[in-house]
Amino acid sequence: MKTLSVQFKVNGEEVQAEMPTHITLLQALRELGYTEVKNGCEKGDCGSCTVLLDGLPVNSCLVLAVQATGREVTTVRGIGSLDNLHPLQKNFIEHGAIQCGFCTPGMLLSAKALLDENPSPTRKEIREQISGNLCRCTGYVKIVDAIMETTSEGSKAGKRRPRARKC
């Protein structure tokens, strides 16, 4: 097995390891303990493996671990923690945008990347941005609601409670 010494940052922490050249960034991250990065399809279809690579959301199953050398990877653990939730995380919880939670880490990262670029996207732009992140549970409405709430417009609207929806 061919290996290479690989070094990159994950959520600000330096990672250095000898890795087989053929493993994907997704496999490497999970083996290194970053199991918040989910493995759904390993071919770019589902988005559950989404990470930020130098700030841009990508499918970590479509990147080789060796290609991450010298770069910064952000997983969902890098954007907030249990006692210090990111506003997106807070709003996902409040809006019931999480059911099984498998898509959530990827969904949050795609949403964060959008808000970093454009703090006041429309619903359409949000749907477009998360079109590579599949959710089998929620039907997307609550996810879009939660992201909308986090936009500069949404936060201006202040304490507006999420609309109650019948199932």
Ligand X SMILES: Cc1cc2nc3c(=O)[nH]c(=O)nc-3n(C[C@H](O)[C@H](O)[C@H](O)COP(=O)(O)OP(=O)(O)OC[C@H]3O[C@@H](n4cnc5c(N)ncnc54)[C@H](O)[C@@H]3O)c2cc1C
- 63 DSSP assignment: S
Q: Which of 25, 58, 64, 103 binds ligand FES (CB under 6 A)?
A: 103
User: Do the bridges between strand 50-53 and strand 3-10 make them parallel or antiparallel, or are there none, so unpaired?
Assistant: unpaired
Instruction: Identify what 129 binds: ligand FES, another protein, ligand X, none; CB under 5 to 8 Å per kind.
Output: another protein
Residues in CB range of 40: below 8 A, 6 or more apart:
46, 47, 48, 49, 102, 134
Nearest approach in angstroms of CB 139 to ligand FES is: 9
Instruction: Identify what 66 binds: ligand FES, ligand X, another protein, none; CB under 5 to 8 Å per kind.
Output: another protein
CA 126 centroid distance within chain: 14
Q: Does 45 bind ligand X (CB under 6 A)?
A: yes
CB–CB of 40/18 below 8 Å? no
Which of residues 63 and 148 has its CB atom nearest to ligand FES in the complex?
63
User: Do the bridges between strand 3-10 and strand 56-59 make them parallel or antiparallel, or are there none, so unpaired?
Assistant: unpaired
Nearest approach in angstroms of CB 14 to ligand FES is: 25
The per-residue DSSP string of 117-166 comes to H-SS--HHHHHHHGGGS--SSS-SHHHHHHHHHHSHHHHHTTTPPPPP--
Tell me the window of 2-10, 93-101, 146-154, 156-164 that interacts with another protein (CB under 8 A). 2-10
Tell me the window of 4-12, 93-101, 119-127, 151-159 that interacts with ligand FES (CB under 6 A). 93-101
- The residues that touch ligand FES, with contacts defined as CB under 6 A, are 39-42, 44-49, 59, 61, 98-103, 135-138
- The residues that touch ligand X, with contacts defined as CB under 6 A, are 43-45
